Amino acid sequence: MISLISYLIISLVLFIVGLVVMISRKNIVAILLGIELILNAAALNFVAYSRYVTNNLDGHIFSLFIIVVAAAEAAVGLAIVIRFFQIKETIHIDEATQLRN
């Protein structure tokens, strides 16, 4: 019953939901939530292939590094969000126009 395909379907759904969140939300923190969902979909794919196809632990290592990079990305991203809020008093994504022109 449980096969590689079921994990791939879950991963696909997570990726699409993350993409929809990234595109449709206007809140910067919500966009970061979408990025987390997409990174998790990729990590789940790595571990599933590592169990069903290659039969070694390299996928686990890669998944651990994805978690590390996601932690670093979240820390820097949220710092930027807080700085942006100090300047603009809002975190609406359409207000981020200072680098235009």
Partner 1 sequence: MFAQLLFLLSAVLTVGCAIAVAVTKNIMHSCIFLLGSLIGIAGLYATLGADFVAVTQIMVYVGGIVILMLFAVMLTGGKDFVSRAQNLLGLAPSMGNKWTYGIGLFVGLVFLLTNIKLLSNIMKSYPAKTFGNEFPSTVSQIGHLLVKEHVLAFELSSVLLLGALVGAAIIARPRKQ
Binding site for partner 1 (CB under 8 A): 1-2, 6-7, 10, 13-14, 17-18, 20-21, 24, 27, 29-30, 32-33, 36-37, 40, 43-44, 47-48, 50-51, 57-58, 60-61, 63-65, 67-76, 78-83, 85-86, 89-91
Cα separation, 77 vs 83, whole angstroms: 10
The first and second tokens of residue 34, run together, are 């979408």
- At its nearest, how many Å lie between partner 1 and the CB of residue 84? 8
**How far is CA 74 from each of CA 28, 48, 63, 85, rounded to the nearest angstrom?**
12, 25, 16, 16
Residue number, 11 or 100, with CB nearest to partner 1: 11
The first and second tokens of residue 67, run together, are 């978690």
Residue number, 33 or 96, with CB nearest to partner 1: 33
Backbone angles phi, psi at 80, to 5 degrees: -65, -40
Residue number, 55 or 97, with CB nearest to partner 1: 55
Residue number, 74 or 96, with CB nearest to partner 1: 74
**How far is CA 21 from each of CA 15, 35, 36, rounded to the nearest angstrom?**
10, 9, 10
- At its nearest, how many Å lie between partner 1 and the CB of residue 101? 23
